[in-house]
Structure 1
Amino acid sequence: MDATRNEALVAWMGEHGYSSNSLADAVNTALEQLTGRVGGLDGSSVRDWKAGRVSWPKSATRRALETVSGLPVTALGFLPRGRAVSAPAAQQEDPDMKRRTLVAGIAAAAAAPGLTGTRRIGMSDIGRLQERFAEVIASDHRHGGQLGIEQRAAQLADEALNLQAAGSATQRVRSSLYGCAAAFRSSAMWAAIDGRRYGDAKAHMREAQALAEMSGDHEIKFRIWSHAGAMYRHMGRPTEAFAANDVARGLHITRRDPMFASLGLARQAAIHGVAQDRTGTRRALDQAQDALQRMDPDADRPVWLLAFYDQAELNSLALSAYLALGDYPAAEFHAHRCLSTLRSHMIRSQAITTTRLAHAQLAQGDFEAATSTAMRVPADAATQHARVSRMLQEFGAALRARAPRSSTVQDWTEHTRDAWRTTT
């Protein structure tokens, strides 16, 4: 007789995000905890379960499966072949019908938690949270630094944590929930940094770090510590910035994926700029460029990294570094390179880069070009984005100090009065 596919197991694996290999690894770990010996299962073992070629695993394996899933193995579609069941009526029941009924019962329980008192949290819930996270990322790149983005991200972090108490879940799903909560908190942290609300950013950072530890997700750990380095850099505290960024760069993910290594090095270069270390800046930028060129463009990476880090962002960080060093020709060069390749959705980054370009031009005495560049910054960014607004105020003060009788001062004054009036 042909084996009958174990649809209950297949459905459970799909709901909880397990591949054949990852489920084998999880069961092997549970076997080691139960028996003291490492399990010898692999992806082919699980494929045999799914295909029905093995309908009743060994007893230790069954216990390990129950540990991983939180369900009896019969609820995962496993049935002993040729063994009479205790209930007389069930002896006459068609095995395929019994399995279909079992699968339907699991689905009904998930769909109607009020009837059972317990909801099963699965990877579909994680998927919905990840969609919301992508929306937060997109909003950040459009607007940046807004209090509303920070508050929304913090609210979503709380929603992810509330799911922990909403029902039962596997350890894999619980870790993913903590990872989602940490990701939302890191976005709240970045929005606060971008809005120069550093006290709030530190509070978000502490929560994000704790959640990331519970998730075990090195990618989100990197994001949080890298953000911490950027926060201290913006605060003009390079010692703390180096310390935080070194934690990010020391994570295993930077050795496994050159893209993470490149971002860590590019941000290190920007910190070297604040510390007035020209040699360190150039060395870190060269290493960041080399790592970026070595990365696999098709590797699987988190949405937050893919959404912003590329050659344009590397040039943006080089611009920041050279501007801090007072090397204005190099800063202007990297500003132009950044703007020429910046992706269209990076609206916030375009405003920041354009403002920094204006500063680099002004410092070289090119007053007309600098003023023309500063006027290209959109009015909403100029008035509503804390970092851009402050940099433009500093630009105006520097312009008036360096060219007090120039017509460009009058042009800038009229521009800020007329173009910004409707948005303030």
Structure 2
Amino acid sequence: MDAIRNTVLETWMTEHGYSSNGLADAVNSAVEELTGRAGGLDGSSVRAWKAGRVMWPKSATRTALENVTGLPAVALGFVPRSRSSPTPASSQQEEPEMKRRTLIGGIAAAAAAAATAPTTASPRRIGMSDVNRLNKRFAEIIASDHRHGGQPRIEAQAAALANEALNLQNAGSATQRVRSSLYASGAAFRSSAMWAAIDGRRYDAAKAHMREAQVLSEMSGDQAIKFRIWSHAGTMYRHMGRPADAIAANDVARNLHLTRRDPLFACLGHARHAATLGVTGDATAVKHALGCAQDAFERADPDLARPAWMAGVRNGAELETLALSAYLRLGCFEQAESHAHRSLTLLPSQIQRDRAINTARLAQAQLGQGAPDAATATAMRVPAEVATQHARVTCMLREFGNSLRTSAPRSSAVDTWNEHTTSWKTTT
């Protein structure tokens, strides 16, 4: 009789993100825990299960598989040998698809019966589909941050989703891979809450989110999210005027193994280090760090899969933004203006927060070169709703106005700027 493909097992593997080799490795480890000796499975063994060539694995292997998946073998599409019986001739002519539906239907009925039995009820199985659903929400948080910046509602949404990821840990059974992914999701959401608080200059809240994010990232073992959290910590301390702490935090991020595997992460680490060095006034160190960032950027594989929050690093916009920040801090206004123009060219239009910040920085760079009229015209390009509702942008434009009144007190630009900012009060 033709083998009946085990589509139930295939579906489970797809949902939980297992390849044939990956499942074989997991079961081998579970066999070793049971017997003291590692299992001898490989990818071909699992492919034989999926193809239906092996309908009932050996006892130790079967128990190990059940421990990995949290499901009985029959619920994974396997058929006990005791159920096999000579098949009537008429049944041998049955179509394979009909056989498959009959088998799956029987398994589904058995699973449904088990689910309703009070003494044999199984807890909910948490899988990669749950993680993928959370990852979609994370992408939405990133997009919302790009549009609106550090609003309290974004911070609250991200924190709530972090809690949702953690609640799933206690909602049912899961493999270690799924549990690690849930911790990574929780850390990712908490890091977004942290960033929203930093961006909104709510530093006490940011530090609280940071502490929880750091714990979750350690539990997940995810280097990318650990990099993001420590890199954000460096930015937070830079904004707080604590460059020594900022350098220390960024060094943690820069020394992760991930930066050696993927130069794009190294690029971001060097560029953020340069921005902090700008606060210290060390021009030589800034140029060296930016040179390292540019070298890493050129070595990075542009097609490598990376988290959604790395998009601005991938196209070079973040490198230009951080170079702008560093040179502006140093008072190198001509170089700052050059990087400002490049960053604004690279930033997509939907990233409203970063465009507003870099426009404000461009205005400062132009003012530093003795061009108050051009600087004022640039600053006025920041949309009123961003200028009045985003804490960092509001602060930067207030500083621009103070600098304008100090450097060109009797210029028409001062009157123009005063009239412009007065109009915000009537339109917002």
Amino acid at match of 1:45: S
Q: Which residue of 2 is the match for residue 89 of structure 1?
A: none
Distance 1:406 1:201 in 2: 40
Distance 2:125 2:333 in 1: 58
Amino acid at match of 1:14: T
How far the C-alpha of 1:315 sits from its partner, in A, is 0.4
Q: Which residue of 1 is the match for residue 199 of structure 2?
A: 194
Distance 1:400 1:104 in 2: 78
Q: Which residue of 1 is the match for residue 405 of structure 2?
A: 400
| Mean Cα deviation higher: 97-106 or 397-406 | 97-106
Deviation string 1:288-313 (CA, Å, 9 cap, x unpaired) is 11211222222121122226653111
Decide whether aligned partners of structure 1 residues 387 and 310 sit closer, same or farther in structure 2, where only a CA change above 3 A counts: same
Decide whether aligned partners of structure 1 residues 407 and 123 sit closer, same or farther in structure 2, where only a CA change above 3 A counts: same
User: Root-mean-square deviation (CA), in Å?
Assistant: 2.5
Whether 1:298 and 2:309 are equivalent positions in the alignment is no
Decide whether aligned partners of structure 1 residues 280 and 108 sit closer, same or farther in structure 2, where only a CA change above 3 A counts: farther
Q: Which residue of 1 is the match for residue 427 of structure 2?
A: 422
Q: Which residue of 2 is the match for residue 184 of structure 1?
A: 189
The alignment partner of 2:184 has SS state of: helix
Deviation string 1:84-115 (CA, Å, 9 cap, x unpaired) is 579xxxxx9x98534442145548988999x9
Contact 1:332 1:361 in 2 (8 A): yes
| Mean Cα deviation higher: 219-228 or 167-176 | 167-176
Decide whether aligned partners of structure 1 residues 310 and 36 sit closer, same or farther in structure 2, where only a CA change above 3 A counts: farther
Whether 1:288 and 2:270 are equivalent positions in the alignment is no
Aligned residue among 375, 389, 393 for 1:370: 375
Whether 1:11 and 2:16 are equivalent positions in the alignment is no
Contact 1:263 1:309 in 2 (8 A): no
The alignment partner of 1:56 has SS state of: coil
Amino acid at match of 1:421: T
Contact 1:355 1:374 in 2 (8 A): yes
How far the C-alpha of 1:56 sits from its partner, in A, is 2.7
How far the C-alpha of 1:25 sits from its partner, in A, is 2.4
Q: Which residue of 1 is the match for residue 388 of structure 2?
A: 383
Decide whether aligned partners of structure 1 residues 233 and 108 sit closer, same or farther in structure 2, where only a CA change above 3 A counts: farther
Contact 2:264 2:296 in 1 (8 A): yes
Amino acid at match of 2:296: A
Amino acid at match of 2:158: A
How far the C-alpha of 1:149 sits from its partner, in A, is 0.5
Deviation string 1:16-66 (CA, Å, 9 cap, x unpaired) is 121222212222332333334444433222212111122233333222212
The alignment partner of 1:2 has SS state of: coil
Q: Which residue of 1 is the match for residue 357 of structure 2?
A: 352
Decide whether aligned partners of structure 1 residues 407 and 307 sit closer, same or farther in structure 2, where only a CA change above 3 A counts: closer
How far the C-alpha of 1:80 sits from its partner, in A, is 4.3
Show the 5 A alignment for 1:205-224: 205-224=210-229
Contact 1:118 1:168 in 2 (8 A): yes
Report sequence identity in percent: 67
Q: Which residue of 2 is the match for residue 146 of structure 1?
A: 151
Deviation string 1:181-227 (CA, Å, 9 cap, x unpaired) is 11110100000000011100000001111111111211111111111
Whether 1:321 and 2:323 are equivalent positions in the alignment is no
How far the C-alpha of 1:347 sits from its partner, in A, is 1.0
Gapped regions of structure 2 (runs ≥ 5): 86-90
Amino acid at match of 1:57: P
Contact 2:388 2:424 in 1 (8 A): no
Show the 5 A alignment for 1:48-87: 48-81=48-81, 83=82
Contact 1:156 1:181 in 2 (8 A): yes
TM-score normalised by L of structure 2: 0.91
Decide whether aligned partners of structure 1 residues 80 and 307 sit closer, same or farther in structure 2, where only a CA change above 3 A counts: farther
Amino acid at match of 1:123: M
Decide whether aligned partners of structure 1 residues 11 and 384 sit closer, same or farther in structure 2, where only a CA change above 3 A counts: same
How far the C-alpha of 1:79 sits from its partner, in A, is 2.8
TM-score normalised by L of structure 1: 0.92
Amino acid at match of 2:69: S
Decide whether aligned partners of structure 1 residues 309 and 128 sit closer, same or farther in structure 2, where only a CA change above 3 A counts: same
Contact 1:150 1:188 in 2 (8 A): yes
Decide whether aligned partners of structure 1 residues 103 and 256 sit closer, same or farther in structure 2, where only a CA change above 3 A counts: farther
Q: Which residue of 1 is the match for residue 24 of structure 2?
A: 24
Gapped regions of structure 1 (runs ≥ 5): 87-91
Aligned length, in residue pairs? 415
